[in-house]
Chains A and B, each alone.
Chain A
Amino acid sequence: GAGVSQSPSNKVTEKGKDVELRCDPISGHTALYWYRQSLGQGLEFLIYFQGNSAPDKSGLPSDRFSAERTGGSVSTLTIQRTQQEDSAVYLCASSSNSWGADGYTFGSGTRLTVV
């Protein structure tokens, strides 16, 4: 596609429920990142995928968070047993190589609200 697509754009869920957030990167981009941004805060790195290598999960805040990337393309971020502090905008970015020589393209994000 022309850009990074994320779905849904907004998600309201009850505390304790599981949610899945989807990211469609730009076709051919091998690097994919997930970030989250709480209201009025900067971006917090969550997880990084590069090609077929094992993902770097060092930014995931707890074991309730997991992500996968199927076929080196679409990625899904799963949050189990959501908590109110999980409320944030979750952003996905992709790049044509691991160090973003051509820049990273971000999606518009998924706004998650846990009530």
Chain B
Amino acid sequence: DAKTTQPNSMESNEEEPVHLPCNHSTISGTDYIHWYRQLPSQGPEYVIHGLTSNVNNRMASLAIAEDRKSSTLILHRATLRDAAVYYCILRDKSGSGGGADGLTFGKGTHLIIQP
């Protein structure tokens, strides 16, 4: 899976929007962009994924650049419960399965929410 680059940490205030950036300049045409988050002492939790178009769900929105070399996870109104490590991951749809197709987690962005 192609590599992604995220800031190590970000800080935001409660009830304000949060924009978490991710760069993936080597993305291929068959790579899906996945976002997961990991709350303290829990397993990772799926947030959202997309291919080309912007996506919205109950948790967040995903804005994908036109050239797909970057994306932004948007939390519209952060709460203290959104404090977590957020991972941006590329997942190749064309993969035939196997270890190389396993989700590769980088360091992610540690999101800190101030009350």
Residues of A bordering B, CB below 8 Å:
4, 31, 33, 35, 42-43, 45, 47-48, 50, 53, 56-59, 91, 93, 98-101, 103-109
Contacts and interface: CB of A to CB of B under 8 A. Distances in A.
Contact of B106 (A4, A31, A42, A104): A42
Interface size class of B (residues with CB under 8 A): 20 to 34
Contacts, number: 77
B46 A105 contact: yes
Contacts of B36: 104
A39 to B, nearest CB: 11
A99 B101 contact: yes
B43 A48 contact: no
A103 B101 contact: no
Overall SS of chain B's interface: loop
Contact of B44 (A31, A50, A58, A106): A106
Given A99-B93, A101-B93, A48 B101 contact: yes
